[in-house]
Structure 1
Amino acid sequence: MMKMDANDDDDVSLFDAEEDSASRKSKVKHPVASFFHLFFRVSAILVYLLCGLFGGSFIACMVTIILLLSCDFWTVKNVTGRLLVGLRWWNQVDDDGKSHWVYESRKTNGKKSSQTSNAESRIFWLGLIVCPVLWVIFAFSTLFSFKIKWLAVVILGVVLQGANFYGYVRCKMGAKTNLRSMATNYFGRQFFKQALTKQEES
């Protein structure tokens, strides 16, 4: 594993289209890790929805959701990210009390590792992106429907799954890449492509 901290210059784009596709297979090499990558987070969402629809015990539902979210956070942060996409992140505090974000990326001979498959990468990023978005939607719906008792639960879902999402995006892109500048550059390129396409059509 190759470590990167906030001072490293090693940047990698989030969905790298230039990866060596010939060396990556589409089969799932880690089925158990892939299953649990989705199991805890999807189960937490299902429990939340079913409790809200069928009026189950609030305390039992809340405890179950918190346990599922906690298991998901630990599993994604420490296991599935390393196995499915070769990435890992954490925060550590030095002797001076200063906090440092540390990023790990599995590499072989200076190149991105080919041990991960396309299927596993899709499973990882799909689960990592979609579920926090759903918790954000739940947070807004909880506010608008005045179900204040669920607010702490959905905020916990947003925080725990959002933390993993943020950590892995920073790890994938590289520690020094600014998220805002990346988004600006992406939309700028899309606008430029659209302008060229319209000009060619006319």
Structure 2
Amino acid sequence: MNNPATAGDLDDFFSQQNLGPPPAASGSVQSSVVPPTLGPQAMQGFGSEPAAGGNPFGAVIPDFLKGAKHPVTCCFHLLFKTLCLLVYLFGGYVWTNAVLTYIFCILFLAFDFWTVKNVTGRLLVGLRWWNIIKDGENGEEVNEWVFESLQDETQLDPLDKNVFWLGTYAWALVWTLFLIINVLSLNLSWIVFLVVAEVFAWTNLMAFWKCSKDQKERMQSWVTGAVLQKMTGGTGLDLGRFV
């Protein structure tokens, strides 16, 4: 999960959209300080897609996703999950060698984790996260988590959000169910894979939930501060800022 190179690439992308780099951390855990704000012009470059009718992939986009703002991104949010589940459930009927089934499951699992973490979360719900290892004050390594969120949720599409959150929650719950079934049936041959799948799925879910929770708390703080500033008659106190 430690991917400084990816974080740097995303910082460059966000800086091109006039978002600026993420603020410095004040401790071992860092959350989003100011959710990034995008204007209409910047939002057009923030992963916009042509409508399903004018999209080169329009013929293969399912009907229930054609009304989404990012139909192709929605497809990829579900694609690797579907492939991984199909291989896990039916791979034994295709390959006599169980190792091939295991390898393909791991590959699709990794593809899905990377896609959700770095692409679909940013485009569908305006959230992103990463973690880096930094040197602490005493020379020890400190695991630093960074969470960012888009401030103006009105720029997000409801169908995009539903696809993202339903897919992310279902993905974590499905692997939890499979793990419980395998443990109760004493079928331990896939336990290692299921544990890895659980870690990947729940890491993404909890990280994006943290991004969303931070965003809502900071929006509430901003609204409260703005109201207080109005009530004090605009004394010059900058109470409407995120803290």
**How high is the TM-score relative to the length of structure 1?**
0.70
Further displaced range: 164-173 or 49-58:
49-58
Counterpart of 2:104 (choices 64, 68, 75) is 64
Larger radius of gyration: 2
Cα distance between partner residues in 2 of 1:39 and 1:87: 20
Cα shift at 1:172: 0.5
Match for residue 180 of structure 2 among 131, 140, 146: 140
Q: Percent identity?
A: 34
| 8 Å Cα contact 2:32/2:146 also seen in 1 | no
| SS in structure 1 at match of 2:208 | helix
Q: How far apart in 1 are the matches of 2:85 and 2:33?
A: 35
Q: Deviations over 1:128-176 (max 9, x none)?
A: 0011101011001111222211111111111111110010011110189
Q: Distance in 2 between matches of 1:39 and 1:58?
A: 22
Q: 1-side partners of 2:93 and 2:167: how far apart?
A: 23
Which aligned runs of 4 or more in structure 1 are off by greater than 4 angstroms? Answer: 1-12, 52-56
Cα shift at 1:54: 7.4
User: What is the 5 A alignment of 1:144-155?
Assistant: 144-155=184-195
In structure 2, what is the Cα distance between the partners aligned to 1:78 and 1:170? 16
Equivalent of residue 118 in structure 1, options 140, 158, 162: 158
Residue of structure 1 equivalent to 2:168: 128
Question: How far off is 1:71 after superposition?
Answer: 0.2
Contact 1:7 1:176 in 2 (8 A): no
What stretches of structure 2 of length at least 5 have no aligned partner?
A: 1-13, 36-64, 218-243
Match of 2:199 among 159, 162, 172: 159
Residue 30 of structure 2 contacts residue 145 of structure 2 at CA under 8 Å; is this kept in 1?
no
Distance 1:158 1:11, change over 3 A: farther
Would you say how many aligned residue pairs link Structure 1 and Structure 2?
Answer: 160
| Bigger shift: residues 92-101 or 121-130 | 92-101
Task: State the alpha-carbon separation in 1 of the partners of residues 173 and 112 from structure 2.
Answer: 16
TM-score by length of 2: 0.59
Q: Which residue in 2 is equivalent to 1:35? A: 75
Residue matched to 1:16: none
Q: Letter of the aligned partner of 2:178 in structure 1?
A: F
Structure 1's unaligned 5+ residue stretches are: 13-25, 178-202
Query: How well do the aligned residues superpose, as a CA RMSD in angstroms?
Result: 2.8
In the alignment, which residue of structure 2 is the partner of 1:172? Answer: 212
Cα shift at 1:42: 2.0
